[in-house]
Amino acid sequence: MKSALQLRHVVIGPCTDSLHMCLSSTRTMNLFAMWMEYTLGSDVLMQVMLVDSMWYSIVDATLGKQDSMWVLHNFFGERDFGECVLIFFPIIYREHWTCCVMYLATHAKIAGLRRRKNHILYYDPLGWTTMMDIVPVLHSAMEAMAQGVKAHDVQYALLEPATKFELKVLKGPIQRNAIDCGFYVMAAIRYIIQSCLQEKSKSWVKKTWFIHDDVLALRQSLHI
């Protein structure tokens, strides 16, 4: 049976110097996705897509190249992303983990976000990067993803992200050290899914998401 959070496993040559790190992070995210299947309901997870953490390196390497759309379409495949409510894009940027979250307002309302407005949310557990460092690469990924979307309104939004999505920086927990950024990102992904889609909390943006001990418990659960 296919996972509700099935990750892509596509390697297109040694496109960046950080390829080994991306492959390692993909294995970690696979463990994380399988762990979530045992801790969150399938009805919740079916509303979610978790993109392979290699996406950023691959999209960044194709920018400005003639065959970029062919490469990206091959990477993202035929999945209809328009069926999801939340799409998570873990990012490794300058050897640091952050995460973008695409919220499609077509299927569900998330408390704390403007009604009927698509959003791109951004979380950096150290606050080292800005959202605008990531947005140009994310927009290219969204253009490629639009090719497999059946709903015309969602497809149009993905092709015109500058006008059809609001940007919001999430002020989540700040990591205590220089090594746990990946686990903070994973803890944030789980928190957002659980709070927005399972509990449907009205205060998820404001309240404390989790503490450092929760991150350590996650790391132990994954045996890493």
Using only C-alpha atoms, the chain has a radius of gyration, in whole angstroms, of 16
Give the residue, 224 or 93, on which the prediction is more confident: 93
Question: Which tokens go with 193?
Answer: 């899914």
Separation CA 214–CA 218 (nearest Å): 6
CATH of domain 19-221: 3.40.395.10
The proportion of the chain whose per-residue pLDDT surpasses 70, expressed as a percent, equals 87
Q: Does the structure show a pLDDT above 70 at 190?
A: yes
SS3 61: helix
Average pLDDT of the chain, as a whole number: 81
Where exactly are the structural domains of the chain? Answer: 19-221
Q: What share of the chain is helix, strand, coil (3-state, %, to 5)?
A: 45, 15, 40
Separation CA 6–CA 119 (nearest Å): 23
Q: Is the dihedral of CA 156, 158, 163, 164 positive or negative?
A: positive
Question: DSSP secondary-structure letter at 85?
Answer: S
Q: Does the structure show a pLDDT above 70 at 135?
A: yes
What pLDDT, on a 0 to 100 scale, did the predictor assign at position 133?
A: 86
What pLDDT, on a 0 to 100 scale, did the predictor assign at position 39?
A: 79
Instruction: Decide the pairing of beta strands 96-103 and 118-123.
Output: antiparallel
- Give the mean pLDDT of 167-191: 91
